[in-house]
Amino acid sequence: MFCHVLPSFCCDWRHVGSLELSSLAWFKILEDGNHMCSRSCTCSFGFLVMKFFQLHTRHCRSSEGLRTCQIRFACVAVAMAADMLANTRVGFIGAGQMAEAIARGLDKAGVVPANKMCASDVNVGRMKVFESLGTSVCSSNTKLAETSNVLILAVKPQVAEKVVTDMKPSLSKDHLLVSIAAGIPISKLQDWAGEARIVRVMPNVACMVGETAAGMSLGKTATPADSDLVTTMFESVGKIHVVDEKLLNAVTGVSGSGPAYIFMAIEALADGGVAAGLTRDVAMSLAAQTVLGSAKMVLETKKHPGELKDMVTSPAGTTIAGIRELEDRGFRSALINAVVAGAKRGEEMSKY
């Protein structure tokens, strides 16, 4: 347990305080910290505390001694993470749809408040959108690098090379460059960015509502603290998995592009409802809520989706009539092919 916590947070013993404190006292400190931090909005202390307690109480419930140690180390980790976030200035290179989704999500979660974010964009209209969120804006990407230590590369892949190489003189090893650009490998980003540490993330647009599904891979010089920081940021707006970089195109196929497929499915379900006589409003609400509920059942019951499908499907009933139609039209095979086509396109894009 100690080995797991300490290296990832580069433990600073100043945060440990008195080792004589009982677990109750540590709880009190954590509670106060939570209260203080959520009030000052510097970071979501409660979120971090919960995360570490979930992770670390599981192993040692039986022993009060170990539990006390555990709380101490959770406290150290939480304090370090809070410090790390307190010193984080996030700059968005490109203030488009994804940057906005991430910025809104981070602010809403309290992990990085809007006033600690900055954005630069060639489109003045997009800068205005960011200003309306309470973030500052920079007149150039170079200026952004001067004010931000975590830079999120959120321009389209086609312009990424020019944007990053233009910024290279202003980038140093003190910058963490988090690229969300589809298909751009870490090796290229590293060439373009020089000394900056690189993390590549493939999130999806649902950052905006705190339900993203993301994958991430670390560049060679990225540190465990970078990994923790990016994980904390994206876990505040959904879920993130560390994957081997060669699998990031597969992540793009499933969850990066996936929302578009699901939006189409919702639209089509609603169209079906309208065709069957429902009003558009009612049909849309029923369709979206059905997708939400079904996803929740998969995540919460942990049952195989096939088993859940069977729960809905009565003998000679309505659902099997619909499933037969979907199977006739190659529904599942169409989705599989869509994911594979997206992943393949990502691979092609990485070769430009």
Ligand X SMILES: NC(=O)C1=CN([C@@H]2O[C@H](COP(=O)(O)OP(=O)(O)OC[C@H]3O[C@@H](n4cnc5c(N)ncnc54)[C@H](O)[C@@H]3O)[C@@H](O)[C@H]2O)C=CC1
Ligand Y SMILES: O=C(O)[C@@H]1CCC=N1
Residues that bind ligand Y (CB under 6 A): 182, 252, 256-257
Find the shortest distance in angstroms from Cβ 123 to ligand X.
4
Residue 243: count of CB within 10 angstroms of its CB: 16
Find the shortest distance in angstroms from Cβ 264 to ligand Y.
13
If one asks whether residue 350 binds ligand X (CB under 6 A), the answer comes out as no
If one asks whether residue 141 binds ligand X (CB under 6 A), the answer comes out as yes
Q: Look at residue 251 and give the partner it binds from ligand Y, ligand X, none, a contact being a CB closer than 5 to 8 Å depending on partner kind.
A: none
Find the shortest distance in angstroms from Cβ 154 to ligand X.
5
CA distance 233 to 103: 10
Residue nearest to ligand X (CB): 96
**147 Cβ contact list (under 8 Å, min separation 6):** 89, 91, 118, 136, 138
Q: Given candidates 80, 95, 208, 240, which one binds ligand X under the rule CB under 6 A?
A: 95
**150 Cβ contact list (under 8 Å, min separation 6):** 88, 89, 90, 91, 175, 176, 178, 229
Q: Return the range that interacts with ligand X (CB under 6 A); candidates 79-87, 114-122, 296-304, 331-339.
A: 114-122
If one asks whether residue 319 binds ligand X (CB under 6 A), the answer comes out as no
If one asks whether residue 46 binds ligand X (CB under 6 A), the answer comes out as no
Q: Please give the backbone phi and psi of residue 56, each rounded to the nearest 5 degrees, phi first.
A: -105, -15
Q: Look at residue 122 and give the partner it binds from ligand X, ligand Y, none, a contact being a CB closer than 5 to 8 Å depending on partner kind.
A: ligand X
3-state secondary structure of 237: coil
CA distance 26 to 22: 6
Q: Look at residue 284 and give the partner it binds from ligand X, ligand Y, none, a contact being a CB closer than 5 to 8 Å depending on partner kind.
A: none
If one asks whether residue 251 binds ligand X (CB under 6 A), the answer comes out as no
Q: Given candidates 10, 36, 159, 320, which one binds ligand X under the rule CB under 6 A?
A: 159
Chain position carrying tokens 């994958």: 215
* Beta pairing class for 150-153 and 136-137: unpaired
Nearest to ligand Y of 42, 252 (CB atom): 252
Find the shortest distance in angstroms from Cβ 121 to ligand X.
4
Length of the chain: 352
SS3 letters for 93-116?
A: ECCCHHHHHHHHHHHHHCCCCHHH
By the criterion CB under 6 A, which residues form the site for ligand X?
A: 93-98, 120-123, 126, 141, 154-157, 159, 163, 180-182, 202-205, 256
